[in-house]
Structure 1
């Protein structure tokens, strides 16, 4: 069985994944180094790797991003620019993304502050209600007594 796994692992094909998922869920497959698995004749590996890295770098870095009106407002609110008119027509996407992240953090801080202040207000209102003897228990008892009285009056009026 171990020979089958080793042979499948050396091939690096689909058999490794099928064995790995179905029969041996805890098995980790160790990939062979790149020089051992590439047996292509007549290609220069160095030039192919250089082409791959150049294209991946070009894909990751977008030359210019045109910010929308909302992005321009975010850039001004986060302090990147003084006015909306100062924002250029194209920017690096990293600049806009950093401004969005900064705005997200500011909004989360505002929401935390609003939540804490809301809790404090509810505690103050609850203590005032207790001092006036307006607890939920007292309100429910009064409501049930009122409904009982209305039911008794309605029963006496129907004969």
Structure 2
């Protein structure tokens, strides 16, 4: 009985592997749009629909929004908004966004370093005034004890 069950499992796994291979090959032919004629595979003669606005090299064009125009100016690609053409390529827009992203990162790094230096200076000034966390906590606990004693006397 055990060997019959093992034989079924092996046969089932072999069938699943074969089924997966067959369907993956069918999927490839379906995706590549091939037609089978007399045992040979040929590409269909239909041409894909071309976008209406294109460069001569076949790059699709994009009409920039107001925000994208500002990004193009901030990146240094154009000097004025009037210089920006009506349609631009996606590559130009992506490059401008990347430049602006890098500039923003540099600004954030500079602000972080400036904030750290400012906190160091403020911490040293507080240490000179003896305003340490330990002294502040001790003063707070003393104040809370006094309030608790005052509440105990009034009750």
Q: 1:65 to 1:5 in 2, by over 3 A?
A: same
SS of equivalent to 2:36: coil
Structure 1 residue aligned with 2:15: 4
Query: Over residues 16-62 of structure 1, what are the superposed CA-to-partner deviations in whole Å (9 max), with x where a residue is unaligned?
Result: xxxxxxxxxxxxxxx79x79xx88235874533x86xx74996xx66
Q: Does 1:65 align with 2:53?
A: no
Q: Does 1:77 align with 2:64?
A: no
Within 5 A, what are the aligned runs for 1:1-159?
Answer: 1=10, 3-12=14-23, 40-42=36-38, 45-48=41-44, 55=48, 63-156=60-153, 158-159=154-155
In structure 2, what is the Cα distance between the partners aligned to 1:110 and 1:139? 35
Q: What is the count of residue pairs matched by the alignment?
A: 133
Deviation of 1:149 (Å):
1.3
With structure 2 as the length reference, what TM-score do the two structures score? Answer: 0.69
Q: 1:11 to 1:150 in 2, by over 3 A?
A: same
In structure 1, what is the Cα distance between the partners aligned to 2:41 and 2:50? 18
With structure 1 as the length reference, what TM-score do the two structures score? Answer: 0.67
Structure 1 stretches (4+) deviating beyond 6 angstroms? none
Query: Over residues 70-106 of structure 1, what are the superposed CA-to-partner deviations in whole Å (9 max), with x where a residue is unaligned?
Result: 1111111111111111111111121111101111111
More strand by share: 2
Deviation of 1:5 (Å):
4.9
Confirm or deny: 8 A CA contact 2:75 2:99 kept in the other structure. yes
In structure 1, what is the Cα distance between the partners aligned to 2:74 and 2:15? 62
SS of equivalent to 2:62: coil
In structure 2, what is the Cα distance between the partners aligned to 1:100 and 1:56? 29
Where do 5+ consecutive residues of structure 1 fail to align? Answer: 14-30
Where do 5+ consecutive residues of structure 2 fail to align? Answer: 1-9, 52-57
In structure 2, what is the Cα distance between the partners aligned to 1:3 and 1:137? 73
Deviation of 1:144 (Å):
1.2
